[in-house]
Amino acid sequence: MNIRRTAAVAASILALSLGAYPQATQSTQATDQKLLAKARAIHEKAITLDTHVDISGAQYATPELDPGQETNLKCDLVKMKRGGLDGVFLAVFVGQRNALDAAGYKVAYDQAMVKFEAIHRLAEKMHPELCQLAVSPDQVRQIAKTGKRAIMIGVENGYPIGTDLTNVQKFYDLGARYITLSHSGHNQICDSSSPAQPPINNGVSEFGKKVVAEMNRLGMMIDVSHIAQKSFWDVVGLTKAPIIASHSGCAALNPVDRNLTDEQLKALSKNGGVVQVVALGSFLKAESPERRQAMEAIAKELGFRRPNRQEMQAMTDAQRAEVEKKMAVYRERVSALDEKFPPATIGDFVDHIDHAVKIAGIDHVGIGTDFDGGGGIKGFNDDSEALNVTVELVRRGYSEKDIRKIWGENLLRVWGEVEKAAARSKTAN
Ligand SMILES: [Zn+2]
């Protein structure tokens, strides 16, 4: 254990007061102190990874939005350090457009490049003293020892691949180590779990099959978050390596389309893969009728109706900017409801971890917050609160070994196996 890192983590964790832990009350403080001490020790030793954090486009990693400083982001390097979080997959996210044509693919590819550049700028030019790009599990372990944050890249949505299979290798060469095959909306690779429109591929398309094989060949993790049920089962049948769900919850606890059913969790376990449980309130817990009513009242008062994704896609930039302005006001008003009608809490989040562990097994569960893309819950609303997760896991009786698996070891194992499968296929050819 690197001494600088130990000191930094201990100091940052000490800064977290008992008050940060939502279940703390006067009468339970003595127990909580003991629990906190145990959790701190485990948290400090574990490699703690988050497999899904969104970034904005060109503005990210510029003086205007510098993740090396304290920012409004849920994930920046300062909060990561304070919360003892060792590494994060930043998402090269590209929204799905209706057009599956050359022009659409070109726009998407260019958007992806802007985000790749931003991540490289962060790790290589702006803050090489604070973080480093990791492209293998071994590198993650090495970087964690130095006290720097490990930055990894996942591509969210295979849409920017277009119909050019060589783009998969291009993304790999730029450091991407997983691709989420789709986002919201069917694409050229597979059908998406949302919105509920008739499938266009009946699961994974012919081109999608080639993408899966290419990712296996290169040693990239296939991410099944966002993809339709049929697409999921196709991928499970096609892949030669374990897969991941980089940010998904359990459908048994909240049956939204993006969460995994128990059958899917079992299949993921059999495949050797891992589900990284998402910290996005609406995926963890259905909104209470009271909260929904209050939200509707605010919308009515503001004369605002939230457009669906399809409507957003059809808008001009000016129309979209107008809607986003209204949405910001609406969001601010809604966040004021949190005290009265709390959204999901860290307890709900760990309920999903519990369920995934029960169904898939302790070796197949991890954490992928979706911070800065919608994630954030009471008690784990940004990276500075990561210790609270460990506290809750300790409170529920998870052992140090189990907690280390959940926080990073399972993901690193899967990633290593994906690399090994690629190496095997190379020697076989
Ligand atoms: Zn997502």
CA distance 111 to 217: 25
Across the range 106-112, mean pLDDT stands at: 96
Q: How far is the CA of 300 from the centre of ligand 1 (A)?
A: 28
Burial of 8 from C-beta contacts in 10 A (0-12 / 13-18 / 19+) = middle
Q: Is the pLDDT of residue 1 over 50?
A: no
Give distance in angstroms: CA of 346 to centre of ligand 1.
20
Q: What is the pLDDT of residue 13?
A: 38
Report how far ligand 1's centroid is from the alpha carbon of 182 (Å).
9
Residue among 135, 223, 141, 143 at smallest CA distance from 177: 135
List, for residues 269-307, the tens digit of each pLDDT value: 999 999 999 999 889 998 888 888 888 898 888 888 877
Ordered alpha helix ranges (H), 219-345: 229-238, 262-271, 281-284, 289-302, 309-314, 317-335
- The Cα 195–Cα 14 span in angstroms is 44
- What is the distance in A from the centroid of ligand 1 to the CA of 352? 17
What average pLDDT does range 122-132 have in this prediction?
98
Give the C-alpha separation, 94 to 107, whole Å.
10
Residue 409 has pLDDT above 50, yes or no: yes
126 Cα to the center of ligand 1, angstroms? 27
pLDDT for residue 57? 82
Higher pLDDT pick, 76 / 32: 76
Q: Tally the C-alpha atoms within 13 A of residue 402's C-alpha that lie toward its C-beta.
A: 17
Written as six digits, the tokens of 136 are 């293998």
Q: How far is CA 313 from CA 97, 103, 181, 331, 394, in A?
A: 6, 15, 19, 20, 44
pTM equals 0.87
Distance 91 CA to ligand 1 centre (A): 9
Q: How many CB atoms lie within 10 A of CB 173?
A: 10
Q: Of residues 309 and 215, which shows the higher confidence score?
A: 215
Q: How far does residue 24's CA lie from ligand 1's centre (Å)?
A: 32
Whether the predicted pLDDT of 321 surpasses 80? no
pLDDT at res. 8:
37
Q: How far is the CA of 82 from the centre of ligand 1 (A)?
A: 25
The answer, yes or no, to whether residue 6 has pLDDT greater than 80, is no
Closest CA to 298 of 337, 339, 324: 337
Which phi and psi (to 5°) does residue 425 adopt? -65, -30
Q: Which pLDDT belongs to residue 302? A: 86
Interval between CA 232 and ligand 1 midpoint (Å):
15
* CA 199 / ligand 1 centre spacing (Å): 19
Q: What is the pLDDT of residues 323-359, one digit of tens each?
A: 878 887 887 788 778 777 777 999 999 999 999 999 9
pLDDT at 26: 56
Nearest alpha-carbon partner for 284 in 355, 232, 201, 334: 355
